Amino acid sequence: MMWLAERAEAAAPRDLAIGLPVPPAGAELARLVGALNRRLARVEISHVKELQFAADAGHRLRAPVATLRAEAELAMRGDRADQTEALGDRPGR
């Protein structure tokens, strides 16, 4: 049983799909390790989907965010001149 614990502790996050070695058939732990491996496979699938979602969202939001930022910068440049005129802070007064 120690070899199974050592293997589980040594596994890196990218090794989720590989799972743990299943003990020989008929062994008491075979069923438990099989269940854990199926669970790890589902976790791996969820992790891959999450990474893909984040990549897609980042890609799809890049252009709209850049457009909003550019429009905000332009609006701020124009508003400063209008605000100073409205407040009577023009040079030469």
Residue ranges covered by each domain of the chain: 2-87
Summarised one tens digit per residue, pLDDT across range 36-74 is: 888 888 888 898 999 999 999 998 999 999 999 988 888
CA distance 39 to 61: 33
Sign of CA dihedral 32, 34, 36, 38: negative
Q: Which residue has the higher pLDDT, 22 or 59?
A: 59
Q: Which residue has the higher pLDDT, 27 or 44?
A: 44
In order, the DSSP letters of 12-44 are: -GGGTTT--PPPPTT-TTHHHHHHHHHHHHHHH
pLDDT exceeds cutoff 60 at 89? no
